[in-house]
Amino acid sequence: MDDEQAFTRMFEEHYESVLRYAWRRAGPTYASDIAAETFKIAWEKYDRLPHDQPLPWLYATARNLTRNLIRGDRRRAEVIESLGAEMVREGMGRDHAAAVAARHTALAALSDLSETDRELVLLVCWEGLDVRQAAAVAGCSRPAAAMRLHRARRRLQRSLGTELLPAADRRPAHQERLV
């Protein structure tokens, strides 16, 4: 039996189990995406898969994908909450038009960044990656990514005329380099 046939057999045997696993952990909205991504990764790493017992490996992969999803959702919620708190402080909490204007201003400030800097900010703030992971995605070194991210945050703060993170959440530049 060749790899493609063996993989197809493994997929048919374990897809429903992985889908149910993802459903229980991430809910119906993301379950099929997590299951599909799990098997995509399994195909890419098929030669390193434990062929006699693939299900634990598949579950571990689905767990990692779910954790990444949850981490990204949590960070997005924190950013939205932070922006919402800032809007309430600015008196925009109940005015939909002001909220739309604030969103437009934030998007405009983000679009003023270079494509690379914008990508780094979005990878860290929206996708939940740490600086090292974002650097790998952006194709640069971790120190370069940390510096670009630091400068991009400062430019965003100047554009928005506000602090992006509460003081307790900010790390000095020397600590960020240690991440």
pLDDT tens-digit map of 123-138: 788 777 788 888 887 8
Mean pLDDT of 78-82: 73
Q: What is the 3-state secondary structure (H, E, C) of the chain?
A: CCHHHHHHHHHHHHHHHHHHHHHHHHCHHHHHHHHHHHHHHHHHCHHHCCCCCHHHHHHHHHHHHHHHHHHHHHHHHHHHHHHHHHHHHCCCCCCHHHHHHHHHHHHHHHHCCCHHHHHHHHHHHCCCCCHHHHHHHHCCCHHHHHHHHHHHHHHHHHHHCCCCCCHHHCCCHHHHCCC
Give this prediction's pTM.
0.47
Is the domain spanning 96-176 CATH 1.10.3720.10? The answer is: no
Mean pLDDT of 70-83: 76
Going from N- to C-terminal start, the domains of the chain cover 3-68, 96-176
Q: Of 1-5, 7-11, 164-168, which one has max mean pLDDT?
A: 7-11
pLDDT at 163 over 60: no
